[in-house]
Structure 1
Amino acid sequence: MPRLTIDNQEVEVPAGATVLDAARQLGIDIPTLCHMPGMPPATSCMVCVVKVNDKPRLAPSCALKAEDGMRIQSQCDEVLEARRVALELLLAEHVGDCMGPCQLICPAGMNIPLMIRQIRAGGLEDASVTVKRHIALPAVLGRVCHAPCEKGCRRAQADAAVSICLLKRFVADTDLAREQPYLPVRQATTGKKVAIVGAGPTGASAAWHLLQEGHAVTIIDEQGRPGGMLHKIDAGQLAPDVIRAEMDLIVRLGAEFRLGCRVGADVTLDELCRDYDAVLLAVGEASPSAGDLAQKAGLAPQQGKPAVRLAVDRRTFRTSLAGVFAAGGATRAGKHAVLAVADGQAAACAIGQFLAGADVTGPVKPFNVSLGKLLEGEITAFMSSADPAARTQTQPHQPLSPAQARDESARCLHCDCRKADSCRLRQFSGQYGAKPARYRNRQVAFCQRTDHPRLVYESGKCIACGICIRIVEQAGQSPGLCFTGRGFGVTVSIPFNGTIEEAVGGLADQLVSACPTAAWAYRD
């Protein structure tokens, strides 16, 4: 049995084992894309390379047989750089979006395409979970949001954007009408306490997310009711009952409200800093200046002393006072409610990092590849799987009916990646800091095949690993799949111009599970 060393750890493996097998036995993580246990190595992706015995040439660990006395480096700078380049070369030919344009432009980052698929499938409870994962006040925003997501909707290039905001309202209103509206599960209590000054959309949003992390939250506001600037919106557009219903859910999640309490008069910021582990100033309509924020926080200048100033880092939401954060209208221009809700979500992330003793960086931007400007004819390819009907029209401030919501959801082009959360190409690209545009020279047009009742195949996301071909071949499915083309033009095809359903039969689940990207994915 060969004995070798990987990253200064010695391991003994059975004869015939690979270096990849040995690394996994040690618990060392080496990324793979084209490798599948039980199949011969393909060595096409080259992301599993390692350095062997200080030789100048790196080798793919999935095909490298373990030998006695080998000295392997799997995490040195040379190896990490080679993996990054390999990923960037794969991304150079990638055709597709990780996140849909609508989700990218949404200030709160809501997974809009997933919500729409869930509406179309009749899964409104699932849609509620999707919406509330990012948005604390969806019924409110469904009525007042200025809908930047619709400006990014690719469907507008064909006719008109999907009515995303009304669909969100439909999901939220349906949820509120239930006897028990959806509430997320709270993590175990952390023993940490957060005071939030301001019960408007920023403070409410921050509370919603901090409570889910297991922190205790007290929201303090000088007004007698929560909602802040929302109560200035015409009741014909946003009824007070809607504000109250969604604020009640935040109470049910565990928030404590101290209303009619003015910071600087009834309680001081020093007292809050003493009694709580963190303080968030979400005081709303102060002008975004350090002096004005300090006054809103009750730090009025004293006679004969310099004016108090409270600087804010807009990336981390930290102020110049230890343990004090600030977000919302007091720290930036713009009064749109969705921006306030997004600020609260992001500030909660930063506060959570602070309370956990981690580096306070604020939200981490997820790795994303964007299709960019569409090539000629690509909008037609997107439209091939969408309902060609015109945008649903309603009277101002009127909701969609269930039938209208289903019809409108069918108009979505589903530009996003259906496997964004499980795509290993995306995961490793983010992990290794790959730059999607470094070698990109997109010449291949977006293309998708939907001639299977459960599957969609997007050739632009295929990395030619061959796993799907081997799965179908091992199952004896005919006519099966094969490679066609040469060089960068290699793609998976179906012999004799057959359909996907004919080619793969009942192997849909195996293909989706094994595909390292989203070339093979479920339609819904």
Structure 2
Amino acid sequence: MPTIRIDQTDVVVDPGTTVLEAARSVGIEIPTLCYLKGYDPSASCQVCLVRDVATGRMVPSCATTATDGLQIESESDEVHAARRTALELLLSEHVGDCLAPCHFACPAHMDIPLMLRQIGDQEWSAAIETIKNDIAFPAILGRICTKPCEKGCRRNAADDPVAVCQLKQVVADKDLATGDGYQPEPRIASGKRVAIIGAGLTGLSAAYYLTRLGHRCQVWEKASQPGGRLHALGADALPPAVLASEIQRVRQVGFELTCDRTVQSADEFTTLLDDFDAVLVAWGEGQMQAAQRLGLKTNRKGIQVDRATYATDIDQVFAAGNAVRGNALFVRSTADGKEAAVCIDQYLTLGKMTGITRSFSSRMGKVAPQELGQFVQDAGHAPLATEQLVVDESTGGVDSVTAAKQSGRCLACGCVAHGNCRLEHWASKYNADPGRFGSRQATYEVVGRGGDVLFEPGKCIKCELCIQIASKSKSDLGLSFVGRGFDVRVGVPFDRSWEDAVRSVAQKCVDACPTGAIYFRWRDVDVVDLGESKTESQ
């Protein structure tokens, strides 16, 4: 039987085995997009490239037979660069956002589209969990945030943005009204202790997430009550009962809070460093002298930190929020608290900080008017102006029907395959640059409207898998490539619908598609006003 060498590993294979199959048999990972076991390899994506040592050529491992004596490189810098280029070429023609524009506009990078889907389905427990994964104070921010996410909402260009902040408030208010409400399960106790100086949005958010991560937190606040600058907003902007309730809810995660206490001298600070494994300075703006007394370097805005990790120049000391930025947005202060918590957790558990990892995302950028029209059409709801969603404090907020209708205005800009897309996965792993070969030329298009199976040609890499799956099923219609040259695409014979073509194998096609180009309509909201009515998913 043939024996080949992949990197430093000898592999004995059956005749006819491909290099890809040989590599997988010994646990060597080679990326693929257009390959699916049991179907003919098309070798169209070129992401599975390896180097034939004898010839020096790059060859697709999915379509290269393992012959006796073959020597292959699969992990060299040259191979990685070739795979990266293949991914970047595919991304240069990709039409779609991995993550919605609102996600990037929100300083907390909350999964807004997921929250909106959950509201539409009236899954209130799931919605508050989604929110609190990134924002510890949604009832407060829902009332006072300057709404950068709504400024980034693509629907802005058509009529009004989705009322994201008010919907976030609706979910949070419902949670506050239900006894103990949402309480996350903390990670196993680490035995590490963190001191936090300042109980504003940044300090309390950091304490909330660090406690969830398994660390014991002690928060000190120089004022007589927690909340910092929130108390200066006034009852009209932020009702005191909401402020008190949400702080109490956050405290239920289990950290300690001491008011009328702060750290003022270098000696106190030194003692703190001896007693705790990490310290976070999260006081308000304008405390330069206090920072300097503690030995912390400052700049014109506040304490000087590594912006990637929130670390100061003193080991085990971190700073975030207005202590660093001066006068930041409330949502930015909240986001800083979580991000600082993540970095402190890295320091405590790994001994080093890698900083915040941002998800890879291909981005469409500005869309043309006809593309925007398609997005609005696909949303399936008539425009509902933001001012129609009025949160009335005296009546307890918005009813579920109105909230579901408002959430249905979401254009679903993000990809339904986000998190499960192989193109996204490998592009992230190989650090591919979506813009290396220029901006997109194709336009956004959805085929199959009116049915449950949709197809976006702009995401298709012409891997042929759906065509083979339909053919193997002996479908009456099937799928095929149509058009010529650069205009070739997957299509249905006789201008029939996609649903007709893949009816019996739709799930297989959706599962096999490596880019999310084929997918099921994520929901079809039909809200009927029955008081606290339910949203039907069809």
Scaled by the length of structure 1, the TM-score of the pair is 0.93
Comparing 467-476 and 425-434, the one that deviates more: 467-476
Per-residue deviation, 1:265:
6.6
Residue 423 (structure 1) aligned to one of 421, 428, 438: 421
CA distances 1:474-523 after superposition (whole Å, capped 9, x unpaired): 22223122211233322211111112221111433222221111112232
- Structure 1 match to 2:526: none
Distance 1:155 1:213 in 2: 36
Corresponding residue for residue 110 of structure 1: 110
Partner of 1:134: 134
Q: Is the 8 A contact 1:478 1:502 kept in 2?
A: no
RMSD between aligned residues: 2.1
2:28 is paired with a residue whose SS is: coil
Q: Which residue in 2 is equivalent to 1:320?
A: 313
Alignment partners' CA distance in 1, 2:439 and 2:284: 46
Counterpart position of 1:473: 471
Asked if 1 retains the 8 angstrom alpha-carbon contact of 2:470 and 2:479, the reply is: yes
Aligned pair 1:497/2:486, yes or no? no
Q: How does 1:184-333 map to 2 (within 5 A)?
A: 184-264=184-264, 268-286=268-286, 289=288, 291-295=289-293, 311-333=304-326
2:358 to 365, 372, 389: 365
Question: Which residue of the partner structure matches residue 304 of structure 1?
Answer: none
Distance 1:506 1:131, change over 3 A: farther
The CA distance in 2 between the partners of 1:325 and 1:2, in whole Å, is 58
| Structure 1 match to 2:457 | 459
How many angstroms apart in 2 are the aligned matches of 1:343 and 1:488?
A: 46
1:377 alignment partner, SS class: helix
**Distance between the aligned counterparts of 2:351 and 2:473, measured in 1?**
49
Query: For 1:245 and 1:498, how far apart are their aligned partners in 2?
Result: 57
TM-score (norm 2): 0.91
Q: Give the aligned partner of residue 305 of structure 1.
A: none
Q: Taking structure 1 as reference, are residues 57 and 353 closer, same or farther at Cα in structure 2, changes over 3 Å only?
A: same
Deviates more, 1:82-91 or 1:327-336: 327-336
Q: C-alpha separation between the residues in 1 aligned to 2:243 and 2:427?
A: 41
1:369, CA displacement in angstroms?
A: 1.4
The alpha-carbon deviation at position 162 of structure 1 amounts to 0.9
Q: In structure 2, how many angstroms separate the alpha carbons of the residues matched to 1:441 and 1:229?
A: 44
Change (3 A) 1:511 1:122: farther
Displacement after TM superposition at 1:310 (Å): 5.5
Task: Report deviation, 1:390.
Answer: 2.6
Give % identity: 42
Q: 1:23 to 1:221 in 2, by over 3 A?
A: same
Instruction: Quote the residue 2:377 is aligned against.
Output: 384
Query: Mean Cα displacement is larger for which, 24-33 or 311-320?
Result: 311-320
Deviations 1:443-469 (A, max 9, x none): 211011343654332111111111112
Aligned to 1:57: 57
Structure 2 residue ranges without an equivalent (≥5): 523-538
Q: After the TM superposition, which of the residue ranges 510-519 and 133-142 deviates more from structure 2?
A: 510-519
CA contact (8 A) 2:389 2:402 kept: no
Moved more, 92-101 or 443-452: 443-452
User: In structure 1, the residue corresponding to 2:226 is in which secondary structure?
Assistant: coil
Give the SS at the match of 1:253.
Answer: coil
Counterpart of 1:34, as a letter, is: C
- The one-letter code sitting in structure 1 at the alignment partner of 2:353 is V
Aligned amino acid, residue 464 of structure 1: K
Report what 2:533 is aligned to.
Answer: none
Match of 2:93 in 1: 93
SS in 2 for 1:4: strand
Q: Tell me if structure 1 keeps the 8 A contact 2:166–2:391.
A: no
Is the 1:346–1:363 contact (alpha carbons within 8 Å) kept by the matching residues of 2?
A: yes
Q: SS of 1:10's equivalent?
A: strand
Give the count of matched residue pairs. Answer: 513
**Distance apart, 1:149 and its partner CA:** 0.6
Secondary structure of the equivalent of 2:332? helix
Which ranges of 4 or more aligned residues in structure 1 deviate by more than 6 Å? Answer: none
| 2:412 aligned residue | 414
Q: Report the AA paired with residue 160 of structure 1.
A: D
Q: Deviation string for 1:89-141 (max 9, x for gaps)? A: 10111001111111111000001111111111222222112111111111111
- Name the amino acid aligned to 1:336: L
Contact 2:36 2:465 in 1 (8 A): yes
Partner of 2:399: 401
Question: Could you tell me how far 1:300 is from its partner in structure 2?
Answer: 10
Quote the Cα distance in structure 1 between the aligned partners of 2:429 and 2:508.
26
Offset of 1:367 from its aligned partner? Answer: 1.3
* Inter-partner Cα distance in structure 1 for 2:212 and 2:474: 49
Q: Residues 282 and 321 of structure 2 are in contact (CA less than 8 Å); yes or no, is this contact kept in structure 1?
A: yes
Say if 1:13 and 1:180 are closer, same or farther in 2 by CA, change over 3 A: farther
Distance 1:280 1:492, change over 3 A: same
CA deviations on 1:64-88 (whole Å, 9 max, x unpaired) are 1222222111011111111011001
Quickly say closer, same or farther: Cα 1:173–1:54, change in 2 above 3 A.
Answer: farther
